[in-house]
Chains A and B, each alone.
Chain A
Amino acid sequence: MLQGVKAIAKGLGTTFKALTEPRDTIAYPEKRREYAPRFRGKHMLARDEDGHELCVGCGLCEAVCPAQAIRVVAAEAPVEKPVSWTNRYSVDYEVDLIRCIFCGMCEEACPTNAVRLTPFNELAAFERTDMVADKEELLSPPVRK
């Protein structure tokens, strides 16, 4: 009997001790963790200071992607209406975020530093098609809510 009480007291002691200790979990989504600066989350397409897209649609990311998650279609922009910093730009730029393995090879291959992986990792949708990020979506980098 005494031994039983001792055991309960020991157990409760651990519990009460843990109550005062700092917590290992966070109260997501009210609180969010800070990620390392090089964390590889959802992609973005960057622009330069003048607002021109950096992506020239060279397709190297498409070529290097081990999951074949990227599709690029390039086109020539009219001289008076440039889209990127040169006359070649990407008309379509799609990343299938279900296929993507977030290896960051696209970022590494990009000769213009246009594709970047942001720390944003809250990827969820009700439809599979919603998980294909189109160019418009990628050009407005996601921010955490």
Chain B
Amino acid sequence: MIRLTIDDQQISVPEGTLVADAAAKLGIEIPVYCYHQALGPLGACRICLVQVEKMPKLVTACTTAVQEGMVVHTRGALVDKGRQGVLEFLLINHPLDCPVCDKGGECFLQDYAFSYGASAGRYDEPKIHKLKDAPINEFIILDQERCVLCQRCVRFMGEYVGEEQLMLEGRGVQTVVATVDHQPVVSPFAGNVIDLCPVGALLSRPYRYKARPWNLERVESVCPHCPVGCTTLATGRDGHVVRVEGRPEADRHWGWLCDRGRFGYDFAYLPDRLLAATVEGEERSAAEAQRTVGGWIAQAVASHGPESVAILVGGQHTVQEANQIARFAREVIGTERVAMVRSTRGYLPSALNGTFEDIERADTVVYLGGDPYESVPVVHLKLRDRYRQFPDLKVIGIGSWVLTRSTLPGQDVVVEPGQEVAVLAAALKIAAGEQEAVKVLTANLGDWRPSLTGVDPAAVEDRLRELGQSLLGSEHLVLLWDGKDAEMESVLHAIKTVREERSAVLPMFGPANWRGFEQAGIDPHFDRLDSVLDDCIAGRVTTLLVFGGDLLREYPDRRRAEEALAAVERVVQEGCFAPEGQEHYHAIVPGAGWGEVVGSYVNLEGRPQTAGAPATPPGQARPVRTYLLAWAHALKKNLVFEDEGRLPGMAAAARAAVAPVTRPGDLARGDDELVMVGNTEVMEGGLPSEYLASRVAEYPGRVSPQDALRLEIGQQGGRLVVEGSDDTIMVNAAPDPRVPGGRMVLPYGIQESPLNRIGEGATVKVYRREEVGAR
């Protein structure tokens, strides 16, 4: 520890701390533009000048490390003169745009000019004019005149994200921030430069001219789009959400968001948002539909018993809402047929669940099945953060296609579709076959030999041994699981049992708040959903209430879901949007969504976080509790929702910790056939967004370049007909060198190309669209 004095206050800080950080610890404000703790020192803007005794000149607080006995003065005539001079230079060519600038009122240039600047400029020369309103991409506008060249944006993209898409161009006074090759920035993390920009140079296009800092309400919120649950600030004006910003939390995260979370808030105001109810295909007021549905439920309970009512929960509901639904099911109706709408089959017990602190300490990270960049983007940034501090970070991707990417280099074990579990079990068997847990795990595998894509059959065993040793020998293992294969749970249990050091699993699957639903008393197991659908098909359920979620869109087997809905007498959907296959639903009632109700979300760490409500529900949309209370009334039951403090944790169904995994069948695939592989992508599926429409891939399907060549879809991609065993869908697909031959990767939940019509792992015939016409 090093002791120093800042403005007559003593402080001890670790060696290597910068003066700016030490001052911040004491609560002394030192102005900074270029310095950001996540990015490290640069010393470009010079605004943080401080006086250090025995140093001949002023020094920059953000680049000077503390030294024993240092005496620092952060104010004083000398310092003020220095800062005033710096600001005068910064303002030479800065336009007087404040009235039309979106940053006006929350701008550090304004604030510091007010605190440290001169009252008037001395320059009469004309200002240099540069580009205004230059698009960085479809979400970000750059005003080069307002830029102070702090390079935060350039360094964030280049050094932090590792995607060099912004740069400084020109020299001297003509230096400007520009995109590389003047191409739009495509990184999903680009939106963060809006938060990073200390002045009004980088601005959000959707927020443009929407409000000023003093006439809006900024509430602490949580992003509802993926299980990461990034902390955000949601800005509301006149009952509308107009902006979402990242909210840094000390020692936890920097407040980075992906563009999905930053710009995907406009769903509430889209034209297809439910504003009124539909009963039997006719539009009704929400109040009327509420009465009608209440009558239905009462009738069903009276004539078929409480167990004839089943309840499904999904979507963006908060923990409190889920708990209200669970209590309504148990206390009012008295049914145990309650399940969660899921699109993947996996379940992760809390005991295995890790936290983001595990990422901060990890030395080995394993992607199981999916790429976090696509499904939980901010986790990728957290991994990048770790990689920057610990360049030896070992990244291993185990999936049906190459999961690692250049920004986070690693090794890949590319397996045959659906064999991740078996390959992992085989690797464990080779590396630690003598362990009891591994013996149980691999009991059914027998002499099964996996084949790995791009690995010579003779080298497979070595490759698996290496993998097994990485899994078992690493000091701090983090596994990111996509939740596709339910048997993975056994493998994860086995890894934890065999390993002596800490291993942590982070689930990448949805719904975003599934852990919260679990805590609220909704069984998250996929079997549960399956058994409810079984009951529906068998006619044991006459009334099905679906809260949030979209069963036909999300359930992996659409045919079965349709069958279940068709077998039920009355299906009622509550949500923000009309579900797919509306003909199956007898009533659709509008619900309030994210930003419209206060509640908690539990993220993939199992951490509850509260989201405020800056907006009011549009139209007749009302919160779930309104419906539940009305329906309880219709059943002549008393239901009281007090302010729930601690939510009851639900005991998940007990299972054998390690169960043997299934031996994969033989691969039977014709040369011209492809295997469908599903993928969770945060930009696809989920809540619709008009702002993000340009970001939703035009060609979401991905095939190998060789298959693309055979299918003649070219570099750009093309429209393919995918013919499964009993259904055919259209897929816009493009070649991707990360995908090996013989498979097609398709995100879940695309309305035009629903993977659940074909089924994951199905072998399909694929043609180019034109060929079909010719056939």
Contacts and interface: CB of A to CB of B under 8 A. Distances in A.
Interface string B190-232: 0000000000000000001110101100000000000000000
A56 interface: yes
A59 B215 contact: yes
A87 B209 CA distance: 10
Contacts of A62: 212, 214-215
Q: Which of B133, B208, B210, B212 has the most CB of A within 10 A?
A: B212
Interface in A3-36: none
14 contacts: A56-B99, A56-B100, A58-B98, A59-B215, A62-B215, A63-B212, A75-B209, A76-B208, A76-B209, A87-B100, A87-B133, A88-B100, A111-B98, A111-B99
Interface of B: 98-100, 104, 133, 208-210, 212, 214-215
Interface size on A, as a range, is 10 to 19
A75 B624 CA distance: 35
Interface of A: 56-60, 62-63, 74-76, 86-88, 111-112
Nearest to A109: B99
B215 A58 contact: no
Given A87-B133, A88-B100, A111-B99, A58 B212 contact: yes
Contacts of B215: 59, 62-63
B215 to A, nearest CB: 6
B99 A60 contact: yes
A126 B215 CA distance: 31
A56 B209 CA distance: 10
Contact of B99 (A58, A75, A87): A58
A62 B98 CA distance: 15
A58 B100 contact: yes
- In the A-B complex, list the 5 residue pairs whose CB atoms are closest, starting with the nearest: A58-B99, A74-B209, A59-B212, A88-B100, A111-B99
Contacts of A88: 100, 209
Nearest to A75: B209
Contact of A63 (B133, B208, B214): B214
Given A62-B215, A63-B214, A63-B215, A57 B98 contact: no
A54 B208 CA distance: 19
Contact of B214 (A56, A59, A111): A59
Contacts of B212: 58-59, 62-63
A86 B209 CA distance: 12
Given A63-B212, A74-B210, 13 more contacts: A57-B209, A58-B98, A58-B99, A58-B100, A59-B212, A60-B99, A62-B212, A63-B214, A74-B209, A75-B209, A88-B100, A88-B209, A111-B99
A60 B110 CA distance: 15
B209 A112 contact: no
Nearest to A71: B215
A138 to B, nearest CB: 18
A36 B99 CA distance: 30
B216 to A, nearest CB: 10
A74 B133 CA distance: 17
B214 to A, nearest CB: 5
A58 B214 CA distance: 11
Contacts of A56: 99-100
Contacts of A76: 208-209
Nearest to B212: A59
Contacts of B100: 56, 58, 86-88
B95 to A, nearest CB: 11
A144 to B, nearest CB: 32
A57 to B, nearest CB: 7
Nearest to A56: B100
A60 B104 CA distance: 10
Nearest to B210: A74
B104 to A, nearest CB: 7
Contacts of B104: 58
B99 A112 contact: yes
A130 B177 CA distance: 50
A88 B208 CA distance: 9
A63 B209 CA distance: 15
A57 B101 CA distance: 10
A82 B42 CA distance: 41
Contacts of B210: 74
A79 to B, nearest CB: 9
Nearest to B132: A87
Nearest to A91: B209
Contacts of A59: 212, 214-215
Contacts of A112: 99
Contacts of A60: 99
A88 B132 CA distance: 13
A88 B97 CA distance: 11
B190 to A, nearest CB: 21
Nearest to B208: A76
A101 B664 CA distance: 80
